[in-house]
Structure 1
Amino acid sequence: MQLRHLADKAVSTGLQEPASSLSAALAAPEQQPPAGPDLRSVTASIGMLAYEWDIATDRLSWGENLREVLATFADVDLSTGRAYGERLGAQSATSRFDAIVTSAGRDDGHGVLYNAIYALAPPRETGGGSLVWIEDCGKWFAGRDGRPSRAHGVVRVITERHEMERRLTRSAQFDALTGAMSRALLAEHSLRLLGQPEKTRKPFTILLVALENLFALNRTYGYDAGDEIIVGLATRLRANVRVNDLVARYAGNKFAVLLENCDVEQAKASGQRLIEVIAHSPFATEIGVVSVSARIGAVVAPRDGRSPAVLFQHAEEALDAARQRNAQRLVCYATSLARDNGRLHALQISDSVVSALNERRVELAFQPIVDAQTGDTAFYEALLRVRLADGAIVVPGDILPIAEKSGLVRLLDQRVLELALARLRADPSLRISVNASVATLHDPEWPDWLANATHVYAGVADRLTIEITETTLIDDFDKTRQLICDCKRLGIKFAMDDFGAGHTSFRNLRLLDFDFVKIDGVFIQNIIKSEDDRFFVRTLTDLAKHLGLKIVAEWVEDEATARLLRGWGVDFFQGSLFGSAMMASAPGETLDLARRA
């Protein structure tokens, strides 16, 4: 009757929160069970089994639904606490016995609650099998000596729930792709080492290892091969550190290696050895072997930081220094690295650009260029936007100067062009212009890349215009001229951007086969107020018309300016009067940005 009563109380309390609800059921004041359905079938249906344990005699009594709930153990002797305890799995962190005997509670006559989660191992004589995880809640009651004398409670099987919780815990602690520990778990281990008593604390090192040119590898070999390389790197790192050292997936193409009991000189030797191990032999992928290299930033704790956050920040600064042109592949953190804030800011921007490229956070915004006579959108200029990891949008002016210095601008140009070509293929009525930097124009591989890209996105080249600034022509006129000729053969149009800023000679302008000139907005914005600007712009328009070039006026912001330019024969307007740059819709959708009827 007591077993039935106990189960009835657990059921009536509810099972919405597994551990706490069972405890609440047992804590509820004792009362007569209400009349109703067969409560034995109810407890069995929700997997609950009541028991009583006479601790003094070790006799263990079970409810009548033992066979239904603990089917695996139905034919096993569970009549004593000792016999039940022998079934305890080695993976168990606690047991019913531990929960009762080690309880800090004192019985005031109403019993003391206990709760335990543990595993039971099926007996070998029945064929063995997987562990059965149990949730066990109950109350123990003291004898005359104040020590536990008897207990009663309920158990239920939670194997499925335990496995789900285990998977969730593991996914939070370990990287799904490589199996390496997570950055959060690495921080926990670092905090544990930092918290050791100062007298016995040993220095430890964190090596921040970054693959070089992951974006180029992904572009050349594909993202699947890039993932295989990352997995191979994790495997190689684990194989070349000591048993007690740790390897963690820090972020993207970065791994962190924690070396216990390791000082500065040992850090340098270990880091250099890992660099050589990574570069020594290529990585096997589905498309063949690929050679890669790495750079490392190192910090030694507690010298370089007394918290995981500070250590990670300094490791990133050391890695940024190692990534600089002509720098050593391994750089150990030093206070002097943090002195040049401008350089560090540039390094952080470069790192953000690389991450945005790798994680496909480079996007396009589109500004309409309208027909000067009708106001209808003739085509759009595709403008670079970089979405940071926190969702913030960065415009070109904030990153391009640094991207040009760090050699990343070519990768940005290619990504912009890829997105534009995809948009053109998705919308056959669309025409787009994109910008190309000096570095891209002077890249000897770019014409071939462009030809291949227009082949992949067949039928869109004649709706694409590439804009190059007038100042670019001064750098290498002959090379620019040849490039324009090569691209024109593909059907691509060319526009001279910022016309008027570089003062290109009439002879050079005539020799270059441009389709458009875009008058620099600096001369347009004050044209109503400045007689000098009016004279200069009028001269530029007359020159462009004489050469048969279409004219785009930038920064047209009011109707008076538009009316004046329209009277001079300007063909197209671009500016806030006709629509600001707006982020694109999904690639498969038709653009419907600011249009003027």
Structure 2
Amino acid sequence: MLDRIEDAQYELELEKERAQVTLEGIADAVITSNENGFVLYMNAAAERLTGIRLSEAKIKTLNALFRLMAEDKTTPVDSHWLTDSYSALEEVILERADGNEFVIRKSASPLYDRDGNTFAIVTVLHDVTMLRTLSNQLSFQARHDQLTGLINRYEFDRKAQFAIDDAATENRVHCLAYFDLDQFKIVNDTCGHMAGDVLLKQLSNHIKAKVRSSDTLARLGGDEFALLLMGCDLIKAQEIIESLLQVIREYRFTYDDKVFKIGASVGLTEISPNSNLTLSELLSTVDAACYTAKEEGGNRIHIYRSNDADIKEHNNQLEWVSRIHTGLENKQFVLYIQRMESLTPNAELHCELLIRMQAMDGSYYPPGYFLPAAERYHLMPEIDRWVVKEALSIIARKGANFGYVCAINLSGQTLSEEGFLDFVIEQINHYGVDTSRICFEITETSVIANLNKARQFMQALRKIGCRFSLDDFGSGLSSFAYLKNLEVDFLKIDGMFVKAIANNKIDRAMVESINNVGHVMGLHTIAEFAENNEIIQILKEIGVDYAQGYGVAKPELFE
């Protein structure tokens, strides 16, 4: 009898020791507290996170160990959050007594005695500070221009749409201006693009210093800037723009003992409750006004008005819309295939299908020529329908011998179009294509702009076997929070991070981070802009699954 008791005690001590070793080896912080909030136990990770040893913590309650705050760093969070299993608040900031801050997530589980009464609560704290920092960095990069630090086109479009909505609902007037630098090409041609980058950084700082705090300055690309003036009519806006033009006129750029003087052509338009312009139309009018200012000699403002004959003439010169319609009718569009390289053994073959438009001389226009016009004038759904039908037709014709998974690009406009899902399913059924060979490629920004419809579209096609790839990840907006809520199979790392990984430690770190997050979430990763063997070798070392770029294969006709 005594032997059995001793054996049981030994087993109990052994089990206790096992549990202790396990808890001490866990990377997450584990804290046990009683029903009154007093600390009963902390593992080593909890001691490191809180900066307090267990011997000190045992005489304290949870709310005396550290301070909890919401993400705004001003709203306090009650320590009861630590033991509340049902709190909707996912993340808080933990501030230690020494001032160090950590972003944490938690899970809390009550412990019950034999009678079903709670006698303690185990709280597990997960430090997500690094993940949140990376997410914030990606979000910032998605919204800002890397060269100047100003907001980029995507973020500016979002703010401009807000101004349109605000004018309509609140009966307020705002203004929008486009700046196109004059003589900038001379600097680039004379001193090189590096000098042009220096000029853009310097000048954007000069302009930003003179812009009102209520207004938004953005770099749209190249030497184009935009300014959104909130609560400002045309008269006041013209005064502000004239003062900014004067700043630009007085600016002198010195490089390699050369001095340059530049100017700017500015298009200006009003966002009023009665304008009834969509975002696309608004941007088109102010862009046309800017073009007119440049045509009139530059270094001046041209204000758009609805009866502006010059701008109407300019808009009539936009021939690409007509060319696109003609191209669709006359079968001038073709598909190209760009094969990818698998960087892991025994992986399936992948490729991407790319659209081209045939010119009158038999050459082919790349998509950069006609897709911007198609996006602006809402022609993408028509183009995407042609691409889907043509791609499935060729894949079906090639049969089982064509063993590639084909990525087919879809635009944000198309994702939100009524009837497109039915069209895709109809075409798949018509051609009898193996759906496991179809991967629809959508951009991060287009998904965020049409999140609900994108989810419905993706769920319906995934049910019949199609797969999805999230393109340009890290360029658009988003944070990893969107990625968690999307059912995608492939994560395409944006080429702006990939092309410089051989020489830029930050870009390499970004690629490694995105690749790691993708793999943790069970996604295959694809790196764009794999332009040479050195980049491909680095991608292999990082563990990226596929490489795509001219270093792997150039696009060729798909027929």
TM (normalized to structure 1)?
0.40
Q: Which has the larger radius of gyration?
A: 1
Structure number with greater CO (CA < 8 Å, separation at least 6) is: 2
TM (normalized to structure 2)?
0.43
